[in-house]
Structure 1
Amino acid sequence: MSTDIDIRQALRVFQIIVEQGERRGNRHYFKGIYATSGFDGYDVELTDEKVTLSIYFHSRFDLGYKNQLDKEAFLDRIAKIDALRKSKASE
């Protein structure tokens, strides 16, 4: 388990993807990231097919990745999507 994940940021990004993304089956897709949630809404998942961030009840999480470059690219995408929220708020 990694400790360098901003859970609040990840949850904001999840919401952005659900609101602005394209629905693909049971997932939403936006700017390279897929978002899904459990049937009860307590568990959410963000993935780019190389990295998967699973967020559980009480902000527990698992981050699965094969190499550091994939992880960094994923976290960069998350940050860029979150920055869209900030730029939209300043308009």
Structure 2
Amino acid sequence: MKNELDSKFLLQVFDKIRQHGAKENEQYKLNGITAFTDHDGYTLFIEDVNVKLQFGFHNQYHFDYDSKDKYESFEKKLKEIDKEY
């Protein structure tokens, strides 16, 4: 299954979650989405309870999810954050 989210969009949403989300330890939470980085900051993680996204160096990313419906719900949440903030 091909995912259509582009790197600029992902970075933009990650930044909005960090700016407007609640910080818990080293993670930021906003509208059901959690965003954080690895220890060196080169890999970003954006996830909800059903979908995990790992975005890394050279704009490579990997999604982990069980169904298309869960992915589409996750994508909708990201688009809502982008639009709302």
TM over 0.5: yes
Unaligned runs of 5+ in 1: 86-91
Task: Report deviation, 1:3.
Answer: 3.8
Q: How does 1:76-87 map to 2 (within 5 A)?
A: 76-85=76-85
TM-score by length of 2: 0.92
Match of 1:56 in 2: 56
Match of 2:36 in 1: 36
Task: Report deviation, 1:26.
Answer: 2.2
Task: Report deviation, 1:18.
Answer: 0.7
Match of 1:20 in 2: 20
In 2, the alpha carbon distance for the partners of 1:68 and 1:62 equals 15
Match of 2:47 in 1: 47
Task: Report deviation, 1:71.
Answer: 0.2
TM-score by length of 1: 0.86
The percent identity for this pair of structures is 27
- What amino acid maps onto 2:36 in structure 1? T
- What amino acid maps onto 1:63 in structure 2? F
Deviations 1:9-61 (A, max 9, x none): 11111001111100122210001100010122110010002101110100000
Unaligned runs of 5+ in 2: none
Count matched residues: 85
In 2, the alpha carbon distance for the partners of 1:76 and 1:33 equals 11
1:4 aligned counterpart, secondary structure? coil
Match of 1:65 in 2: 65
Q: Which runs of 4+ in 1 moved over 4 A?
A: none
